[in-house]
Amino acid sequence: MAISQKMLAFAERSSWIRKMFEEGARLKAQYGADQICDFSLGNPDLPPPAQYQEAVRKIIDAETPGAHAYMANNGYPFVREAVAKQIGTEQGLVMGQGDIIMTVGAAGGINVVMKSLLDPGDEVIILAPFFVEYTFYVDNHGGVTKIVNTADDFSLDLAAIEAAITPKTKAIIINSPNNPTGQIYSAAELAGLGTILTKAAQTIYLISDEPYRKIVYDGHTVPSIFGAYRNSLIVSSYSKDLSLPGERIGYIAVHPEIEGKAQLLGAMTLANRILGFVNAPALMQRVVAELQGVTVDCTVYGRRRELFCKVLREAGYEFVPPKGAFYMFPKSPIADDARFVGLLAEQKILGVPGRGFGMPGYFRLAFCVEDAVISRSAEGFKKALAAAKKLA
Amino acid sequence: MAISQKMLAFAERSSWIRKMFEEGARLKAQYGADQICDFSLGNPDLPPPAQYQEAVRKIIDAETPGAHAYMANNGYPFVREAVAKQIGTEQGLVMGQGDIIMTVGAAGGINVVMKSLLDPGDEVIILAPFFVEYTFYVDNHGGVTKIVNTADDFSLDLAAIEAAITPKTKAIIINSPNNPTGQIYSAAELAGLGTILTKAAQTIYLISDEPYRKIVYDGHTVPSIFGAYRNSLIVSSYSKDLSLPGERIGYIAVHPEIEGKAQLLGAMTLANRILGFVNAPALMQRVVAELQGVTVDCTVYGRRRELFCKVLREAGYEFVPPKGAFYMFPKSPIADDARFVGLLAEQKILGVPGRGFGMPGYFRLAFCVEDAVISRSAEGFKKALAAAKKLA
């Protein structure tokens, strides 16, 4: 056997996702990519803001000596200071560079946190439906994932979370605005969560994964997690708000008064190094320092959301309109969500079954695509629903 | 306890390194940084070649749509093709994009290989003196490090390697040109290693970590690893030959006929994703595609090597002149290398004890510093040796 047993199992487990992508590729080859309505990928299609190009040019022109050398594993102090200032403003706290570690995206950041916290068998609570990568990030470092469902409207089910806490619970990961639901947890929900976690016999760290914080609709905002709970960490990136996912630039921000702060920051800095990230990419660190508070034009995503809600509503689908992020998570008209996604594919529409997010009976549609693709999909959504009703 | 038991132990284990850095920082604060001869860090000080700036400007000016979006987890096909062509030429084989995975530096690449290969308790052989990070990379993914010493001149001790192979041996990591010794393994040594590994009952993968391949002296070259052994992988980066260590851009290249190729490449692509790297930084992928075959001006390192050899020889130290990389690894004049490094510090010279590389009784000096620093250190090296002789 060339590879490890675990990776072999992972490869098999993810084979239906690969099949789905292969089916999508086949449809695109057969009909032409412009004939397919591809809502399967959460890959931001807006260009980075114009300030991005300016920032890169300015940094390259400056040719600062050592600008591409190794720096401290937690990142450049001046970059961490800029990030701390912005997050402090958003969270309503005074923060400094010592509260920030620059990371290789939020994915790198969550792995760093898991590596730092978890002893073998420690439990991490995640909320369904969930970003499937969390289960890998916990497993990578010897942890055990405990899945707790959210409520019917995808808000927090506080009683269920409280019931899931055991003496082995070390952390809980939340994601708001949420992928795949677009839900934002309210200040009251977060306060309730903070109360529950505070009551636990041991320290439980709350990890808030917030890459969609700036992508919100209808005047919704994302409440402060640091205001709700002291033992919390924000792990985020510039992948969505600056449309730079391929550049792998993110950060970990800790509550300035988090328990075991010095030890935790030391461990995370060491984990950033020994997991092979070493440091967040140097040039992109300098770039994001220049772009604090800048975001892509979210009105574009807002317009598409309106359009998509209209298309799905008129076609007769049941869904909770997203408050943020760029996903719809409608109910599948038949129990078998994978089968329904197949019916959509027959209409040249690509989505992802809810089971890919730990919640069968739903499906996810990403609207980081041109408006025209959404409009063009309207007839297909109606036909797929009609086909589903014949099966039911 | 805030952090995991393992990270706590790691933090304590590395505390003497921290102490050393703190001592260095204290000396710099006391006497001024320009008064300290700091040979402690392997952080390339040459600027990237001029073509680097040009490449970044060209890419930013082109504003290719989606240039910063997610791509396939193994990297852009055109980048992998460019890398494959260059490595194929160096290794004397026809290679294609399917043989390459772009990674977050070589450190990211080795973690990806370990994650893909290791079942719990699998053994990985590394050769002392070694880059200390290897021990973490193996442990991160449940493996066990087996340390084998090299010969007196730091060449391969083939008999010792053969003796260390057990039914649990899954891989061996070599590093040539070597950090910390500057040794390059000859074609005959590599052929001998290939023969030993081929004789083993199970498949043993040979991982060749080669970031210093282009930094060689006196007409030395680095022999082809793919020519020596079929089940080999090259893991490398542009950190040293393009002076871009902070940008975290590297790759894994597999022998085109490596055993279990499809499964191995699939696992490594998945590992790149689930470990949180996701993909190598997009902009830097595009940059290195433009810079294949370009290197920093190695004659600068060559000049410093000459100078440093002269300084140490005249002071009376015993050492093997490095064939490549930018390190000297002299014998400590007293058995206690940490104590001797302390004597050097009294002369305002910073080095690293050999025990930091699994080989007490030596010390490492990195010469990625200005020539003047090397010249200025001459007296200090003489005085430290005299002080050591009084102790012995």
Which H or E run includes B366?
Answer: strand B363-366
Q: Would you state the pLDDT for residue B63?
A: 83
* pLDDT greater than 90 at residue B13: no
Domain A5-48+296-391 has what CATH class?
alpha beta
Confidence of residue A1 (pLDDT cuts 50, 70, 90): low
Domain A50-290 has what CATH class?
alpha beta
B282 contacts B79 by C-beta, under 8 angstroms: no
Sheet strands side by side (includes B250-254): B100-103, B250-254, B232-237, B205-209, B169-175, B123-128, B144-149
A365 contacts A327 by C-beta, under 8 angstroms: yes
Strands A352-353 and B352-353: unpaired
pLDDT by residue (tens digit) across B348-381? 999 999 999 999 999 999 999 999 999 999 999 9
CA-wise closest residue to A238 among A108, A105, A110, A112? A105
pLDDT by residue (tens digit) across A46-66? 999 999 999 999 999 998 889
Q: Would you state the pLDDT for residue B16?
A: 67
CA-wise closest residue to A298 among A249, A259, A243? A243
Q: Using CA atoms, how far apart are residues A37 and A32, in angstroms rounded to an integer? A: 11
Write the ipTM: 0.96
* pLDDT greater than 90 at residue A2: no
Long-range contacts, B65-68 (Cβ 8 Å, 24+)? B65/A47, B66/A45, B67/A246, B67/B282, B67/B283, B67/B286, B68/A48, B68/A243, B68/A244, B68/A245, B68/A246, B68/A247, B68/B282, B68/B283
**Which residues of chain A neighbour B67 with C-beta distances below 8 Å?**
246
DSSP letters, A84-133, are HHHHHHHHTS---GGGEEEESHHHHHHHHHHHHHPPTT-EEEEEES--TH
Q: Would you state the pLDDT for residue B15?
A: 64
Residue B74 C-alpha from the chain's centroid:
22
Picking from A41, A107, A283, the nearest residue to B247 by CB comes out as A283
Token pair, residue B115, equals 């994650």
For tokens 């000459």, the residue is: B306
Picking from A47, A246, A277, the nearest residue to B282 by CB comes out as A246
Same fold, A5-48+296-391 and A50-290: no
Domain ranges of chain B: 5-48+296-391, 50-290
Q: Does B273 touch chain A (CB under 8 A)?
A: yes
**Which residues of chain B neighbour A13 with C-beta distances below 8 Å?**
none
* pLDDT greater than 70 at residue A334: yes
Under an 8 A CB cutoff, do B246 and A65 touch?
Answer: no
Q: Does B140 touch chain A (CB under 8 A)?
A: yes
- What is the SS3 assignment for A196? helix
* pLDDT greater than 70 at residue B17: no
Q: Using CA atoms, how far apart are residues A341 and B296, in angstroms rounded to an integer? A: 52
Distance from CA of A237 to the nearest CA of B (A): 12
Under an 8 A CB cutoff, do B69 and A246 touch?
Answer: yes
Confidence of residue B50 (pLDDT cuts 50, 70, 90): very high
pLDDT by residue (tens digit) across B229-274? 999 999 999 999 999 999 999 999 999 999 999 999 999 999 999 9
Confidence of residue B24 (pLDDT cuts 50, 70, 90): confident
Q: Would you state the pLDDT for residue B1?
A: 67
Q: Would you state the pLDDT for residue A122?
A: 98
> Which of A203, A248, A270, A283 would you mutate first to test chain B, the one with the most B CBs within 10 A?
A248
Dmax (CA) for chain A in angstroms is 68
Q: Using CA atoms, how far apart are residues B143 and B121, in angstroms rounded to an integer? A: 5
Burial of B98 (0-12, 13-18, 19+ CB in 10 A): middle
Summarize the confidence of residues B265-291 as an average pLDDT: 97
Under an 8 A CB cutoff, do A70 and B266 touch?
Answer: no
* pLDDT greater than 80 at residue B163: yes
Mean model confidence pLDDT for chain B: 96
Q: Would you state the pLDDT for residue A392?
A: 75
Q: Using CA atoms, how far apart are residues B64 and A207, in angstroms rounded to an integer? A: 35
Q: Using CA atoms, how far apart are residues A128 and A164, in angstroms rounded to an integer? A: 13
A205 contacts A231 by C-beta, under 8 angstroms: yes
Strands B250-254 and B100-103: antiparallel
pLDDT by residue (tens digit) across A171-195? 999 999 999 999 999 999 999 999 9
pLDDT by residue (tens digit) across A25-37? 889 999 998 999 9
b (16+ CB within 10 A) / e for B333-350: bbebbbebbebbbebbbb
Strands A37-38 and A349-350: parallel
Picking from B43, B104, B122, the nearest residue to A70 by CB comes out as B43
